[in-house]
Structure 1
């Protein structure tokens, strides 16, 4: 729900990376700055955890994905492999588990609720949303409208 530069970035959002580093330098909790392409690389090829070695390998795979696949394909892969619940991988499975319907029948609200669980799908649930998930889903819906909804990525 937070990679607004996805259609135009080259796999990295250097502004977000700088902001995350600056915030950490000023004592804020370390926050993520990974793009959809970076998350796809991590989910496809790497292990969980935080280390400079893993981040370096992730950067390598991010460059490979960016240079070899169109954005629509990267997003499709991401949506098919992202964990959206305990042992629930991909939007199709999450849609069925949470809303008993295929993704093509999700409302924008339901899609936003699924996306809102992504910071930690082991704790957050689309079908039993916490106040945090509800706030995040509302923000995601607003972003969906502002960024053009289904026309966000050119075909």
Structure 2
């Protein structure tokens, strides 16, 4: 076998393994999404506020019985590393919706940090996040999980339940 054929074969194998790794990474991200989604649906200790950060929300009437909801998570009170958030528009069923729900830190190839008084967007140190979606009914019932690692790398999760009038 000539050297040229060996190089072409080697490059083909490298490219195929790269595609496999990318597909595997996407599959892992989706599995993480589904796990968080299931955790939120099954959570029992649901809160409406947090000691660790502020939560605010609003609803905007877009007309034609369509409403936009915004949930703002900001002003961290503690250092929060590897932040992941999933916001679910809960219709009362315990089934994962086929509609993708608003999320942060799950599908992106970025790691987000919320640390008091430290904002540097190019390095993903943020003040907060805005998650939003559209609903055709009111009131809007939302559930949310905010997951992060604390300064000692301990995993922390808080679950929330809101009804927006």
TM-score (norm 1): 0.26
Larger RCO, structures 1/2 (Cα 8 Å, 6+ apart) = 2
Structure possessing the higher radius of gyration over alpha carbons: 2
Of Structure 1 and Structure 2, the greater helix share is in 1
Of Structure 1 and Structure 2, the greater strand share is in 2
